[in-house]
């Protein structure tokens, strides 16, 4: 059978089947469409302005490594005028972060970007290994996610940046939409497809890879010969998100456009007005000043629970009320 020509340029030989569209295309066209789609995402959403200081959340994994490369490429090609930094978080998970932090340090040299590393140990006094030994393997993603979010904000604040960009890809966003529907988390459902989020006292964050398929990010890294660490968190298999991810992979196998279709669905709906009115308003945490819809932010609740030997109390509303009462007693 004669080799197929690239469906886009019609000139070169097609060497890959694009996961998102199923088209048979050449390497050069793949780079072009991948980068152009990210550029479209950035320009359509007006993510940056010239002179912005932007921190790239870097874990050493494929998403953030490719993100750093693509941001640098597009910044040079389209003259965004950005000052780029790498920002990494050490969660204190033995065997998980050691190699990936080395990768981030190599990225710093390769892309010539300043690097800052913040750790859970120095910010909170707890590593994830210690947290998991206290709470077991359920709900640990809640702790890690909350702690990481604040850690990134605090690290970015230390760098004096205007915005954080993270490597959240289309697969992440699609599984978040499904997860929030299945768990009834309407607060997050209303925000999870937003490309850019910002609240009071919080640094703006955006997701340039919002429409980029995970498989295409891997393919891009492969063809560009980019170095990254491919290690899954050892606590991940027990997570609820893992179930949603497995379902999403099945959907993608049945119809590859399912991932982008779910994102489109998530963008197409919003909370009913009467439901929005019942959502809690945001104000500052009394513990650390971070943005919160409660007296204490979630990180402070989780830490309070850990310190008092009630590690999972903060997961429930009743537990949080009890912790708040104890915290109030302690601080008055």
Partner 1 sequence: MMAEFCGNPAVEAGEVLMPRKRKFDRSRICVKCKINPGNLVIRHSVYCKGCFTPLIFTKFHQALEPYINHVSVGPRRGALKPSGALLIGFSGGLGSSVLLDLVYQRYCANVGSDNLKGGREHPRKNKVWQKIYVCYVEVSDIFPETSDRTAQIREAIARYDGFELIPVRIQDAFDRTWWERVSGGAAPDLAGLPFDLGGGDSEPVAALQTHIRALPTPTAILSTLSTLTRLLLLYTAYSVSASHIVLGTSLTSLSISLISSISQGGGFVVPQAIQEEWFPQFVQRTIGDTSWNGEVRLVRPLRDVGMKECTAWVWWHQLLVVGKQRIPVPKQTIGDLTKNFIIGLERDYPSTVSTIAKTVGKLAPRGDSRVRCVLCELPTQQFVQRWKSRTSIRSFTDDASSMDTATSSLPHYLCYSCHTTLTSKSARSTATLNLHSSNSAPALNLPMWAATRLALELGSEQSVGPGAPANEIWETKKLDDGGMKSLVGEFLLENE
CB of 252 to partner 1, least distance (A): 9
Residue 129 CB contacts under 8 Å (≥ 6 apart), including other chains: 92, 93, 94
**Contact flag: residue 203 with partner 1 (CB under 8 A):** no
Query: Quick one: angle between helices 298-307 and 140-159, nearest 10?
Result: 120
Phi, psi for residue 71 in degrees, rounded to 5: -60, -45
**Contact flag: residue 270 with partner 1 (CB under 8 A):** yes
**Contact flag: residue 129 with partner 1 (CB under 8 A):** no
Cβ distance to partner 1 smaller for residue 63 or 153: 63
**Contact flag: residue 136 with partner 1 (CB under 8 A):** no
The DSSP string of 184-200 is: T-HHHHTTTT-SEE--T
CB of 113 to partner 1, least distance (A): 28
303-311, long-range: CB < 8 A, 24+ apart: 303/124, 303/126, 306/126, 306/131, 306/134, 306/135, 311/131, 311/134, 311/135
Binding positions: 57-59, 63, 89, 167, 172
Q: Say if CB 61 and CB 99 are below 8 A apart.
A: no
Residue 205 pairs in a beta bridge with 164, 197
Query: Quick one: angle between helices 258-268 and 240-254, nearest 10?
Result: 120
Sole binder of partner 1 in the list 215, 247, 294, 308 (CB under 8 A): 247
Cβ distance to partner 1 smaller for residue 111 or 213: 213
3-state secondary structure of 86: strand
Neighbour count for residue 64 (Cβ, 10 Å): 27
**Contact flag: residue 37 with partner 1 (CB under 8 A):** yes
Sole binder of partner 1 in the list 261, 289, 325, 330 (CB under 8 A): 261
**Contact flag: residue 23 with partner 1 (CB under 8 A):** yes
Tokens of residue 196, six digits: 């850019």
Residue 208 CB contacts under 8 Å (≥ 6 apart), including other chains: 38, 41, 42, 47, 67, 70, 71, 165
CB of 302 to partner 1, least distance (A): 22
Q: Say if CB 217 and CB 209 are below 8 A apart.
A: yes
**Contact flag: residue 209 with partner 1 (CB under 8 A):** no
Sole binder of partner 1 in the list 1, 2, 3, 44 (CB under 8 A): 44
Cβ distance to partner 1 smaller for residue 223 or 307: 223
Binding positions for ATP: 57-59, 63, 89, 167, 172
Residue 222: C-alpha distances to residues 16, 24, 78, 226 (Å): 12, 17, 24, 6
Q: Say if CB 215 and CB 174 are below 8 A apart.
A: no
CB of 12 to partner 1, least distance (A): 13
**Contact flag: residue 257 with partner 1 (CB under 8 A):** yes
Cβ distance to partner 1 smaller for residue 117 or 260: 260
Q: Segment near partner 1 (CB under 8 A), from 89-97, 178-186, 307-315, 322-330?
A: 178-186
Q: Say if CB 302 and CB 290 are below 8 A apart.
A: no
Sole binder of partner 1 in the list 234, 243, 291, 310 (CB under 8 A): 243
Cβ distance to partner 1 smaller for residue 29 or 323: 29
Q: Segment near partner 1 (CB under 8 A), from 33-41, 120-128, 309-317, 320-328?
A: 33-41
CB of 138 to partner 1, least distance (A): 12
Sole binder of partner 1 in the list 102, 137, 182, 222 (CB under 8 A): 182
Q: Which residues bind partner 1 (CB under 8 A)?
A: 8-9, 17, 20-23, 32-33, 36-37, 40-41, 44, 177-178, 180-184, 186, 189, 211, 240, 243, 247, 250-251, 253-258, 260-262, 264-273, 275
């Amino acid at each position: 059978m004669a080799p197929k020509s690239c469906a886009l340029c019609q000139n070169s030989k097609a060497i890959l089947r694009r996961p998102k569209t199923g088209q048979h295309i050449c390497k050069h066209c793949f780079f072009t469409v991948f980068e152009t789609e990210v550029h479209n995402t950035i320009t359509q959403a007006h993510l940056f302005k010239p002179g912005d200081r932007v921190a790239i959340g870097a874990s050493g994994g494929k998403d953030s490594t490719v993100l750093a490369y693509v941001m640098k490429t597009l910044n040079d090609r389209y003259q965004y005028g950005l000052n780029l930094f790498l920002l990494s978080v050490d969660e204190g998970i033995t065997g998980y972060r050691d190699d990936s932090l080395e990768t981030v340090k190599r990225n710093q040299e390769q892309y010539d970007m300043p690097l800052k590393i913040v750790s859970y140990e120095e910010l909170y006094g707890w590593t994830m290994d210690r947290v998991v030994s206290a709470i077991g393997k359920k709900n640990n993603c809640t702790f890690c996610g909350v702690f990481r979010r604040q850690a990134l904000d605090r690290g970015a604040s230390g760098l004096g940046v205007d915005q954080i960009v993270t490597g959240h890809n289309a697969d992440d966003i699609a599984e978040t939409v499904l997860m929030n529907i299945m768990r009834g988390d309407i607060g997050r459902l209303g925000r999870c497809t937003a490309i850019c989020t910002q609240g009071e006292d919080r640094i703006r964050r955006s997701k340039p890879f919002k429409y980029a398929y995970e498989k295409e990010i891997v393919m891009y890294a492969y063809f560009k010969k980019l170095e990254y660490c491919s290690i899954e968190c050892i606590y991940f298999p027990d997570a609820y998100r893992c179930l949603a991810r497995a379902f999403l992979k099945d959907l993608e196998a049945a119809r590859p456009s399912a991932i982008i279709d779910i994102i489109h669905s998530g963008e197409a709906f919003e909370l009913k007005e009467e439901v929005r009115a019942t959502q809690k308003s945001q104000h500052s945490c009394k513990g650390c000043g971070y943005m919160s819809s409660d007296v204490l932010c979630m990180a402070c609740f989780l830490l309070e629970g850990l310190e008092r030997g009630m590690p999972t109390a903060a997961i429930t509303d009743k537990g949080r009320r009890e912790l708040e009462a104890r915290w109030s007693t302690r601080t008055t």
